[in-house]
Amino acid sequence: MNNKLLCLAMFALLPSCIMAQKKQFTLNDLLPGGTTYYKNTAPDTKHIAWWGDNCIMLDVDRCYVMDKETGAEVKPLFTLDYVNDILKKANKKRVSSLLYCSFPYDDKPYALLRRSDGVSYIVCFQGDTKVVWSSVTDPAKENDDWNSESLNLAYTKEHNLYIQDGGGEVFQITTDGCDDIHYGESVHRDEFGIFKGTFWSPKGNLLAFYRMDQSMVSSYPQVNVTPKGTSSRCAQLVPDKYPMAGETSHKVTVGVYDMTTKKTIYLDAGDPTDRYFTNIAWGPDEKTIYMIELNRDQTDGELVEYDAKTGKKIRTVFTEHDDKYFEPCAPIQFLPWDSSKFIYLSRRDGYNHIYLYNTNGKMVKQLTKGEWEVFDVVGFNTEDNTIIYTSNETSPVQRNVYVLNMKGKHNVLGNTTGWHSPKLNNTGKYLIDNYSSPLFPRHIDICNTSTMWSSNVFSANDKWAEFNVPKIQLGTIKAADGKTDLYYRLILPPDFDPNKKYPAVVYVYGGPHAHVVDATNHYGARGWDIYMAQKGYVMFSLDNRGSEHRGKEFEQATFRNLGVEEMKDQLKGVEFLKSLAYVDSTRLGVHGWSFGGYMTTSLMTTYPDVFKCGVAGGPVIDWKYYEVMYGERYMDTPQTNPEGYKNTSLLNKAGNLKGRLLVIYGGNDPTCVPQHTLSFMRACIDANTYPDLFTYPGDGHNMFGHDRVHLHEVITRYFEDHLK
């Protein structure tokens, strides 16, 4: 073949070679906040809602009744133009999307529509089509809490509590809200499963709410370096109320506002000093309120019943004790078919399980049992008198859905792989099961909790198929105790060659209430992990003792010495890495954020000869600088555990630093306040060690949007400069 023909032949083959070549990831592809994340790598989804037993598929401009077996359209329900015509006839503002509409009443053709400016409508879309109800609320409101029975809306503004009734009249419930006193907001720094501060009674006639007085709490001097709305160029103080471990904490009380009498009473719980009030629940008849009350040591709790009209204590229903810490994170739930009984989640036998009680405080029976944990109770099937819950019984790294009868018999529902997030309809007969597994990005099934039937209605395409994806492996090693299995994730470069030597980075979190390895897509690998593997790093993560969902003994192994046992387990992971012929043991790095930032810094200073390079983000440095609720639960107070605080403080280890360490923090971090990082820098200066420092002015504990992409570029460059 002459040269001309050879060139033509090579040219003809070029397009097929280009097409066969896989794409490379960018940080913008892999990180939320990246410009191409949702387009290129985030799994697609479908928005599905329940209207009674009807499964409704929602889109921007239309919604339709969906066949629960096939996912096919059965019949159209309404279009965006259709509901906007109804709104136009009523002289109402139009809505721009149907993606997030809902159907609050099973027996009425009513759709709840919301606008971004706080305007809400209930539209009748069949028969006598009209706007049934509308609400125009203060655009400055926060913490919305709407009750579909009464149409009453509770919200907060400038730390005061307001209620707007179904007719649109607004009642200001409190007037002394300020930086020191907060109403209707979550309290105890969101511990104990508290994520809100208002609680409507079942029919929406009464509102229970938190009042938090933090006037006695120290103010942490956060600084705004870019003040707006002022002629001054000087940075301004924007202090946080931050009770550090062992210091004076806030005081919480619980009020009840009666929509009929327009009066507020407070529960007569006694002196709130050094006590926690959590897990508020209403009795089904709206006459009683239940609350779990803990001492400051978090060793003793009691479920207390109160009269909702008078606030008087009726009785202590039961008590619970743990020598280390007792941590209730879910309110009691009454059985819909028997108001004399409720279920309660407890770790009293060592694992989180469901217990059945009567209202006299007698335990009827333990409904679930085993060396696995119930995550949460999703709801009830009111036709079959069954409980639907999620647990990791199938595997410690999975989250599956189960149906439980009152005799204690339970069965897994639907697909038995992966990590599941279910959504019940009001009767509990049907369930939308949204889940992923290591092998697929997202499936959505419809399940019948009575017959245990399930059918797939949506499967997302694997957008990663276009990319050169690293190989991801799951495995177990033994913990430092020699008996406990720990799960790890290992990510190898896409062009992995077992005969080469690769640098390795350990991504670590390690703390309670979190994990990093599970049976979600790609075994829970973060986008940055994939990016680093693409750049030629072996990426490794291990869930050590102290992390979540493995039972009380597993978590409490770290009690009073946070970081000590965790590091021992992580070093077992390092031993495993070093045993791999393709890992260069002289080029090991470590990275983590928050508790993981603490672990990173602690590993670099406790075992200074193990890691060549580390990046610690938003780190705890000394637990005496951390907040009361979390810090004292796991460490007790600095006064009662001085040795534990001393041994785990990284200020005392600053002089041990040998490798290259970059510490990154948000300039206005309200969780791990800047004092942690800055005090460590001071200790390193005094000890003649040389970490590097990077900050994100104005950001909090985490970075979002563009800053998140920028952050991970900074982290990547540090490892490229000092590890590779």
- Structure confidence by residue, pLDDT tens digits, 75-125: 999 999 999 999 999 999 999 999 999 999 999 999 999 998 889 999 999
Domain end call among 448, 466, 484: 466
Structural domains counted in the chain? 5
178 & 277 share domain: yes
Q: Residue 711 belongs to a domain with what CATH number? A: 3.40.50.1820
Do 513 and 536 belong to one domain?
A: yes
Residues 516 and 538 in one domain: yes
List all residues 6 or more positions away from 689 whose beta carbon is below 8 Å from its beta carbon: 654, 655, 656, 657
Task: List the domain range (segments joined by +) for residue 90.
Answer: 44-136
Q: What does the alpha-carbon distance between residue 469 and residue 472 come to, in Å, rounded to a whole number?
A: 9
Per DSSP, 167 falls in state: T
Residue 438 sits in a domain of what CATH number? 2.120.10.30
Q: Do both 129 and 105 map to the same domain?
A: yes
pLDDT (tens digit per residue) in 565-593? 999 999 999 999 999 999 999 999 999 99
Q: Is the residue at 130 inside a domain?
A: yes
In the prediction, which pLDDT does 190 show?
84
Whichever domain contains 77, its CATH number is 2.40.10
pLDDT at position 228, please? 78
Together in a domain, 570 and 610: yes
Q: Are residues 480 and 548 in the same domain?
A: yes
- pLDDT at position 20, please? 55
Cα 83 off chain centre by: 35
Q: Quick check: is 221 in a domain?
A: no
For residue 457, the one-letter residue type is V
* Residue 95 sits in the same domain as residue 178: no
Q: Which residues are catalytic?
A: 594, 669, 701
Q: What pLDDT, in 10s, does the model give residues 644-690? A: 999 999 999 999 999 999 999 999 999 999 999 999 999 999 999 99
Instruction: Tell me the CB-side half-sphere exposure of residue 610, using CA atoms within 13 A.
Output: 22
Asked if 361 and 508 sit in the same domain, the reply is: no
* 322 and 343 share one domain: no
Query: Are 659 and 608 a contacting pair, CB within 8 Å?
Result: yes
Bridge partners of residue 440, in order along the sequence = 437
Rg of the chain in Å (alpha carbons): 28
Q: Which runs of E-coded beta strand occur in 21-97?
A: 47-51, 54-58, 62-66, 73-79
pLDDT band for position 231 (50/70/90)? confident
Q: Is a pLDDT exceeding 80 seen at residue 4?
A: no
Whether residues 154 and 295 share a domain: the answer is yes
Mark whether 490 and 561 lie in a shared domain: yes
Would you say residue 235 lies in a domain?
Answer: no
| Phi, psi torsion values for 182, nearest 5 degrees | -115, 135
Residues 415 and 445 in one domain: yes
